Structure 1
Amino acid sequence: MSLKSALAKPFAKRIYKSVLKWANNPIETQEKVFQNLIADAAETAFGKDHDFVSINNHSDFVKRVPIRDYEGLKPYVERVVAGEDDVLWKGKPLYFAKTSGTTSGAKYIPITKESMPYHVEAARNAILLYIQETGNSKFVDGKMIFLQGSPILKEQNGIQLGRLSGIVAHYVPKYLQKNRLPSWETNCIEDWETKVDAIVEETLPENMTVISGIPSWVQMYFEKLQQKTGKKVGDVFKNFNLFIFGGVNYEPYRAKFENLIGRKVDSIELYPASEGFFAYQDRQNEKGMLLLLNSGIFYEFIKTDEFFNENPRRITIKDVEIGVNYVMIISTNAGLWGYNIGDTIQFTSTKPYRVIVSGRIKHFISAFGEHVIGKEVEQAMQEAILETKIRVSEFTVAPQINPEEGLPYHEWFIEFENEPDDLELLAQKLDESLQKQNVYYFDLIEGKVLRPLVIRKVKKDGFKNYMKSIGKLGGQNKLPRLSNDRSIVEGFPHVD
């Protein structure tokens, strides 16, 4: 055992104890975060506009600060982008994490000197809690890779600008620098396919122990490794035993990954975003990720079925219920206030508070009032994969409102790794699972408003080519699991 590996265990134990302190006192922890945020931002332009000096509790905050998405906060953000001080948070941000919006075009999410450390600390702590639980620290001696965006940053009015993953790349601790791959030069390659090819060449001779990234893009890396070597990834990297992922639900990819790797490996799920690092998996055998209540983020929650009401009820951590879908609202030490990040979550535990991401408030199908969400289609697919042993590369779902004949239906576009023997049986299993999960969908099928779902087989690399065609191949980009219109699937290459 190396010195680095040996030192990791007592460090992990110390971090575990510090996490327990706030996790076991969630209400007090969030109240302290709330009071600090209000006090620190009272003299900002936003704080003055919303009378922060008179805010004493959450009820006061709700009266003064409405829920906003990026469009609602944009006038303030534009002032920050223009170089103005003390607008959303004291001083200027260190960075803008630039993300691609749909209605907003490019979005500029501020990251401040107060918020930046939490992005780094959360990723580190997720690994340390894994070490504390499993006792496995040998992987710290091997090479680690995170498939991420370019670390090249631009400057605008004294503020660094780049992708979140590229910004975070500048904060890899010194003790991990020698373990980190890819090289700086490879990481700076902009074209994603060229970059992955270079990563394959760079990692092949190395002792890879940790591989991390968004599953859909790690899958491309694994496939290229297999094409290059003719071997399973687990045979290429014999000491690879930890996969760290975030951004999407891993379960639809699990069977495919285990086939590519050739064996099972441990995994850690993360929940990072440009707006903050919200949660990470703290236990291998517990469902859900530990919600980070001590990271400069104050959380509010609105039930999804109330969200579009005129005045939906905003609750704090103390009033949430297990198994209910909530829209998550955040206020942060980066200057986001009453901010709707667009994610929907469910609590799996309240001692401690653990969550799963159930979808996006904008990503649903309710063309007929069924309000099917991402979690439901992913669970249906997961159950079907377990029953039929199929492997799926990617899929998305859209409503077919005006079919050429017959009743409308949900159309599932699926790219298979190995095609099922009976496509109709698979469609039946998916539909039955969806009906069990969603009573509205069940009623529409029973009432002959909808007919059962239809599967379209997507050609190999169809999804990859689609993402490439819209300039969103690789990095942190993700394909929506479902949508309420046909903008994604219209003209999509598939096999009838």
Structure 2
Amino acid sequence: MSIKSFAAKIVANYIHNKTQKWASQPIETQQKVFRDLIRSAKNTQFGKDHDFTNIKTTQDFAQRVPIRDYEGLRYYIDRIVQGEENILWKGKPIYFAKTSGTTSGAKYIPLTKQSMPFHIEAARNAILSYIHETGKADFVESKMIFLQGSPIFEEKNGIKLGRLSGIVAHYVPKYLQKNRMPSWKTNCIDDWESKVNAIVEETIKEDMAVISGIPSWVQMYFEKLQQKAQKPVGEIFKNFNLFIYGGVNYEPYRATFENLIGRKVDTIELFPASEGFFAYQDSQKEKGMLLLLNAGMFYEFIKAEDFVMDNPKRHTISEVELGVNYVLIISTNAGLWAYNIGDTIQFTSLKPYRVIVSGRIKHYISAFGEHVIGKEVESALQEAMEHTDIRVNEFTVAPQIAPRSGLPYHEWFIEFENEPNNMEDFALAIDVAMRKQNVYYDDLIVGKVLRTLVITKVPKNGFQGYMKSIGKLGGQNKVPRLSNDRTIVDFFKKNDDIQ
């Protein structure tokens, strides 16, 4: 055992014990975070506008501070972008994480001196939790790759501006710098396809042990590696045994990844966003990710079914239940207050609090009142593929409200790696699984409001073409699993990019 791997185990044990302290006192931990946030921001413009001085309880907070999304906070954020101080948080942010929005255009998410360390610590602690549980630490001596955005900054009135993954690249600790790939020069390439090609050239002869990124874009990297080397990724990188991912559910990709790699590898799931690093997988044995209750964020949870109400009940951590679909609301030490990040989550454990990401509150199908969410379509597809050699690269689902003939249906646009021998049987298997997942969908099928779902094949790289067409190829961008309209799938129809 090397000195570095021995030291990693010692640090892993220390962090594990530290984590257990706050995880075993979840309500007290969140109450402390809440008090610190209110006290720190009471003299900001937002704090004055919302009477933070007289907020003593979470109920006071809910009465004074309404739920907002980016547009709701835009008045304040625009003032920060213009150079004003003490608006949402004391002083000025040190960065803006630039993200793309549908109605907002470019969004500028503030990152402060207080919030930035939690992004770095969470990613580090996820790896240390893995080391503590498994005892595997030899990979710290080998090469690691993090597929991420460009680390080059712009500037807005003295505040650095970039993609979150590019900002994080500046915080890689020195002891990992010599093992980290790709090179700084390659990481700065903006065009995603050119960047992946350059990464392949740089890494193909290296001893890669850890690979991290969004599954869909890592898959693109693996395919190019395999094409160039003419052998599985696991033979190219013989010591590759840990894949770290976030942003989307890995299960629909798992079979394809194992085929590309040539074997199974361990995985760690992360739940990061520009607005905060919310959770990470702390155990290879338990389902879900540990919700980070001590990371400078106060959480509120609204039942998804209640979210359309004018004044839905806001639950704190002490009130949540297992298996309920909640909209995640955050207040942070970056100055986001009662902020709806758009994600829905479900709790898989309450001791400690672990969650899975169930979807996006805006990404659902409810054209007929069925309210199908991302977790349901992913689970149904996974169940239908079990014990088969069918493999799916990417998919999205949309309603077909006005077919040329017959009843309406859900249309699944699927890009196959290995397609089924009988497409109708596979569609029926997914449909049966969907009916088990969603009672409303089952009622619509039984009541003959909807017919069985229909699969439409998308050619190889069809989804990459779509993402490229909207300027979102690579980086942290993801194909929505489902939508309540046909905006995405109309791209395929218009370009005759379906079969």
Which residue does the alignment assign to 1:322?
A: 322
> What pairs with 1:135-150 in structure 2 (closer than 5 Å)?
135-150=135-150
Alpha-carbon displacement from aligned partner over 1:284-327 (angstroms, at most 9, x marks no partner) = 01100000000000000000000010110001000000000000
Q: Is the aligned partner of 1:413 residue 2:434? A: no
TM-score by length of 2: 0.99
Question: For 1:172-214, what per-residue CA distance to the aligned partner results, in whole angstroms no more than 9, with x for missing partners?
Answer: 0011000100000000001100000000010011110000000
Match in the other structure for 1:180: 180
Does structure 2 retain, via aligned residues, the 8 Å contact 1:358–1:374?
yes
Matched residue, 1:60: 60
For 1:310, the equivalent position in structure 2 comes to 310
Matches within 5 A, 1:119-134: 119-134=119-134
Write out per-residue CA displacement over residues 355-403 of structure 1, whole angstroms, 9 at most, x where no aligned residue: 0000000000000000000000000011112133201000000000110
SS at match of 2:149: coil
Instruction: Give, in angstroms, the shift of residue 491 of structure 1.
Output: 3.6
Identity of aligned residues (%): 74
Q: Is the 8 Å Cα contact of residues 85 and 91 (structure 1) preserved in structure 2?
A: yes
Could you say which residue in structure 2 is the equivalent of 1:15?
15
1:283 is matched with 283
> RMSD in angstroms over aligned alpha carbons?
0.6
> What is the match of residue 93 of structure 1?
93
Deviation at 1:90, TM superposition (A): 0.0
Code of the residue aligned with 2:371 in structure 1: it is H
Residue identity matched to 1:12: A
Native 8 Å contact 1:456 1:494 kept in 2: no
Is 1:448 equivalent to 2:487 in the alignment? no
Separation of aligned partners in 2, 1:146 and 1:427: 36
3-state SS of 1:80 partner: helix
Alignment of 1:332-347 (within 5 A): 332-347=332-347
Distance across 2 between alignment mates of 1:52 and 1:35: 10
Amino acid at match of 1:260: L
Q: In structure 2, how many angstroms separate the alpha carbons of the residues matched to 1:268 and 1:495?
A: 34
Amino acid at match of 2:463: F
Gaps of 5+ in 2: none
Inter-partner Cα distance in structure 1 for 2:429 and 2:306 = 31
Per-residue deviation, residues 54-96 of structure 1 (Å, max 9, x unmatched) = 0000000001000000000000000000000000000000000
Aligned to 2:362: 362
User: 1:76 is matched with which residue?
Assistant: 76
Deviations 1:337-364 (A, max 9, x none): 0000000000000000000000000000
Secondary structure (helix, strand or coil) at the match of 2:442 reads helix
- Name the aligned partner's letter for residue 72 of structure 1: G
Q: 1:51 and 2:51 equivalent? A: yes
**Superposed, which structure 2 residues align to 1:365-444 within 5 Å?**
365-444=365-444
DSSP 3-state at the match of 1:387:
coil
* Counterpart position of 2:234: 234
Distance 1:118 1:441 in 2: 40
Separation (CA, whole Å) in 1 of partners of 2:277 and 2:401? 38
SS in 1 for 2:487: coil
In structure 2, distance between residues paired with 1:213 and 1:21: 30
Q: How far did residue 494 of structure 1 move? A: 4.0
Instruction: For 1:173 and 1:491, locate their aligned partners in 2 and report how far apart those are by CA, in whole Å.
Output: 43
Match of 1:201 in 2: 201
SS of structure 2 residue aligned to 1:145: strand
Look up the equivalent residue of 2:478 and give its one-letter code: K
Equivalence for 1:210: 210
